[in-house]
Structure 1
Amino acid sequence: MRYLVGTFLDRLRRPLMGMLVLLLACAPVVACSSGSDDNPLGIGTYDPEAAASAKVSESAAAAAEASASAAASAEAAGVVTVESLSTDRYVVTSIPEDLDELQTEVLKDFVHYDQVTWNVWFTRTGIEDAQPLMTADEYQAFTDYFEKNAAGRTDGTVRVAVTSVHLTAPDAVPPRAMVEVCADQTDLVKYDADGNDVSNPETLQVRREIRVTMVYEGGTWKEASEESLSTNECTV
């Protein structure tokens, strides 16, 4: 009798185990479906399109994670790139190659200063954020000019190519450096307080070649002066 019962249970167990394996295979993702009337037990069936879609999503997620990891590693290593220096409204298109550590610090401090001051003109707010990034005389001149032109806002994106970074007087007190850039402002639009477009294509919507002098004060490189070299001659 025990032999007959054991044989019967063994025969019953085999199809149940097969159903269990199929259910486990279909459990993780929507690559299996179970809504058909021909499938009253609700056992999932393989859907190749859903499986392919899941695979693409996994690949995209892995690529995004790898890109973020690479960017984080570069930043941690002190490496700067045009992507790491850019924002939505301030896009760095190129930087010099083979900058040493000191030149890289000058570059980063210059870009930070330039982004903050451009943001002041975009939003007409946050001028106090520029104070620690400029010498006292430059900040006072910037504040005076801002107070006369504070109404309104500026929209668009400025694109900047950094063409050179030089230490002009590294042993001076304070040390001095020079940064030259081409700033493409052709995408910018200026509005007055009433929302009227008051852009001047001859002064605002231009490409400007600029030389900026930076001095090292208080543990950072600050903007000390700015000189316009040409208009609509440089390229970004």
Structure 2
Amino acid sequence: MKTYRSAVTILFLSAALLVGCSSGGEKANPSVPAYTSDADNSGGTAAAESASVDDYSSAEASASSTSATDGPLTAEGLSDPATEYTVLSIPDDLDELQQEALRAYIAYDRATWEGYRTEDGDLSAVEATTSGDALESYKKSYDEYMSAGQHAEGSFNNSVLRVDMYDEVIHPAAEVTACSDFRSIRIVDSSGNDVTKDGSKVLAAYSISLVRNDGKWTVTSWSRNTASKLCTQ
């Protein structure tokens, strides 16, 4: 099984550094605000942004990410119109374990996206879906944005291409391949000014690693593939 050092915080991670997924390139975190071209980054992103801080409470963000594990397993069912997080497509014919891993990835991606949007200091939803290097990296990026008084706005689209399983019997692990679209995301400062970094509005392929412990899946790392031809829309 491939291993990746860290994963989710693309836009924010890059802007402060925020992209991440897939082999053959930078390591970073999907689903989130800032982005740095051709740089190694780790974090959590699940991830993208959308509405302003004033529009959504931390309670709404937490409930929203949790619902990703409860709704129907369809692209529409995994999406969240309230935070402008849209899943465009998911693979067909996934078995039960693959479905679990997919739901866990979406819950992580939505939690990290919503965290960058609200920047209210509540990371409970992120901590529930992320562990290891991915969590530590996300927290660092998140704190940098909070200190700067910045948050994410706009809409985030995500297409899940594959869910590959490893060591299913003893220590289940999964690798999700996805196309994360940051082209409609922006970073805004406390005065409402758009401070989005050049080169952050990208469509990129990511590989997200998850592990299952005590019946619970968490994202542990992610990497971004800078040369991938998978994402073309």
TM-score bracket relative to the smaller structure = 0.5 to 0.7
Determine if contact 2:135/2:220 at 8 Å carries over to the other structure. no
Partner Cα separation in structure 1 for residue 113 and residue 73 of structure 2: 20
List structure 1 runs of 4+ shifted beyond 3 angstroms.
none
CA distance 1:211–1:163, shift in 2 (3 Å): same
Q: Does 1:200 align with 2:197?
A: yes
Aligned-partner residue type, residue 183 of structure 2: T
Taking structure 1 as the reference length, the TM-score comes to 0.62
Aligned-partner residue type, residue 167 of structure 1: M
Partner Cα separation in structure 1 for residue 214 and residue 144 of structure 2: 30
Partner of 2:150: 152
Partner Cα separation in structure 2 for residue 81 and residue 109 of structure 1: 14
Structure 1, gaps ≥5 residues long: 1-74
CA distance 1:210–1:129, shift in 2 (3 Å): same
* Larger RCO: 1 or 2 (CA < 8 Å, sep 6+): 2
Identity of aligned residues (%): 28
Partner of 2:79: 86
| Aligned-CA RMSD value | 2.1
Partner of 2:126: 130
Per-residue Cα deviation, 1:144-172 (whole angstroms, up to 9, x for no partner): 22111222221111100000001022234
Per-residue Cα deviation, 1:29-83 (whole angstroms, up to 9, x for no partner): xxxxxxxxxxxxxxxxxxxxxxxxxxxxxxxxxxxxxxxxxxxxxx99x851111
Q: How does 1:24-43 map to 2 (within 5 A)?
A: none
Taking structure 2 as the reference length, the TM-score comes to 0.63
Determine if contact 1:214/1:225 at 8 Å carries over to the other structure. yes
Q: Which has the larger radius of gyration?
A: 1
Structure 2, gaps ≥5 residues long: 1-68
Q: In structure 1, the residue corresponding to 2:142 is in which secondary structure?
A: helix
Partner of 1:164: 162
Report the count of equivalent residues.
159
Partner of 1:36: none
Determine if contact 1:176/1:215 at 8 Å carries over to the other structure. yes
